[in-house]
Amino acid sequence: MIDKQQNPAQDTHVSSSSEGEPLFLTPLIEECQYEKARNESTVNYFKQFGIKADAHSGYITVNKTTNSSLFFLLIEAEVNASSAPLMLWTQGGPGLSALFGLFLQNGPLGFNATLGLERRLLTIQNHVNILYLDAPVGAGFSFTDDPSGYPKRLEDVTRDMIEFLAQFLKVFEKYQNREFYAAGDSYAARYSVALAHELLTSTHEDVPLKFEGVIGGVGFLAPIFYLANSSDFLFQASMLNETGRSEFKKRFQHMEYVAFSQGNFSYAVQMLLFTIFAYPPEYPKTLFQELTLYNDHASPLHTERPFVMKYCVGFVNSTSFKTAIHAGANAVIEYANENLIYTFGGDWLIDIRVKIEYVLENIRVLFYTGQLDALFPSSNLLPYFETLNWTHAQAYQKAKRLPWLPYEKYYGAAGFTKSAGNFTSAMILGMSHYAGFDKPTEAYYLMLQFFNRSIAFSSE
């Protein structure tokens, strides 16, 4: 965690293509120099690994008053890029970089056993153009010069994402009127739903996209005090004893009382942050750490955060890589941004049920959960889906739970799905809160089936 997000340049109102300098595209966009913006944003880094697809990256300023800019990395589809859908990928946190998704989950490059980079054969980038976006402001390389530039509400995140897309589509006009999907894990499932809701309910002529669907993995979709109360799961996974389970449950009861009976939302969020997560040694231990003796909150299978994740933070902060993707040699990615977390803290207590229900009514939705998710247990999230009120709610409640196979000759089942209308929920065996990091093959085939419309939806 950090105290202040670092601005990669002193003057961010001018574009720069110099070695080691960050590239800001908004000045070129404002001057309608779209071709120059495309050329200057070109990234050749991935070619050395045999990836033929074109790539672009840079910053787009979404608020001039606060000098808030969002960083993106676009990697076009390996096959049929000119007609393949555009998928926006954001990471959770809130505050994680989408580059973690690229290297650790679903992009064309990943780390091998010796921590070298190698081409990932099963990548959804084979089929869709992926727009990795560090959102919201304060996530990854994205930054603001003014604390007021950090989002306070989910609507602030959506506003900035729409401003970003409006400018992006001017530079990369070939994506105008293209099939579009919003996807992400954990907190980012929330961003995806909110973006879909806004674009479906309001007219944004400067964002001409065919919104086809939302993909949310291990998502922060239900009310937080219900969703994150993992006391029973932790007990059943032998991470807590009976005394610990009781103490964990009592903490959740107390947080709800502080938030909704006393109206002290900020204190309730502070307690939440030091209840369910696990932090590095330089920070006080959370209740989760004290009771479980784990230093990672994602899974019962490992007590420490996987080393490759820590390595990835160092890699994306290397000067050579930052220079290659126009992020700026002085830019810094931290695992989390404290300013963002605390400014955005009020959103943790907001129920987005109405947004989810509207999106379910209007476009295709895939929500997947992890059998071993210790942060947002599948046993909490799946029942929540049953309570949503939408046209096909009863059909979904009555629908059969079916075994899910990634491909025809897969031995056994990789999970279970349930579908009705435009909605499929999936529970993936062996998946923790790290989702595609744990089960990249299963996540790949699940998304591919969703894009290909080969997941069976109800005809009702």
pLDDT of residue 168: 99
CA 236 to chain CA centroid, nearest Å: 28
Report pLDDT for 8: 63
| Cis preceding linkage at 208, omega within 30 | no
Hey, which residues does 183 pair with through a beta bridge?
89, 215
Please classify residue 83 by burial: count the beta carbons closer than 10 Å to its beta carbon, then call 0-12 exposed, 13-18 middle and 19+ buried: exposed
Residue 109 pLDDT > 50, yes or no? yes
Provide the pLDDT for residue 377: 98
pLDDT digits (tens, 9 = 90+) for 199-219: 999 999 999 999 999 999 999
Neighbours of 321 (CB within 10 A): 14
pLDDT in tens, 75-88: 999 999 999 999 99
Amino acid letter at 279? Y
Q: What does the pLDDT average to over 154-175?
A: 98
Average pLDDT value over all residues in the chain = 94
Q: Please give the pLDDT value at position 11.
A: 41
Tokens, residue 415: 């999970």
The whole-number average pLDDT for the span 423-440 is 97
The mean pLDDT of 56-71, rounded to a whole number, is: 97
Q: Percentage of the chain surpassing pLDDT 70?
A: 95
Is the pLDDT at 335 greater than 80, yes or no? no
How crowded is residue 205: how many other Cβ atoms within 10 Å of its Cβ? Answer: 6
- CA distance between the termini of the chain: 48
pLDDT range class, residue 233, cuts 50, 70, 90: very high
User: What is the spatial distance between Cα 176 and Cα 158, in angstroms, rounded to a whole number?
Assistant: 19
Give the mean pLDDT of 329-353: 90
CA–CA gap between residue 215 and residue 448 (Å, rounded): 11
Rounded to an integer, what distance in angstroms lies between the CA atom of residue 168 and that of residue 72? 10
Query: Among the listed ranges 52-61, 161-170, 339-348, 449-458, which one has the minimum average pLDDT value?
Result: 449-458
Instruction: Report the distance separating Cα 257 and Cα 239, nearest Å.
Output: 26
What average pLDDT does this structure show over 173-181?
A: 97
**Domain ranges across the chain:** 17-223+302-459
Residue 405 — very low, low, confident or very high, per pLDDT cuts 50/70/90? very high
Encoded tokens for 354: 């109405």
Give φ, ψ of 281 to 5 degrees.
-60, -25
- pLDDT tens digits along 17-54: 567 899 999 999 999 999 999 999 999 999 999 999 99
For domain 17-223+302-459, give the fold. Answer: Rossmann fold (3.40.50)
Instruction: Please state the pTM of the whole predicted model.
Output: 0.94
pLDDT in tens, 269-327: 999 999 999 998 988 999 999 999 999 999 999 999 999 999 999 999 999 999 999 99
- The first and second tokens of residue 414, run together, are 């990789």
More confident residue, 7 or 336: 336
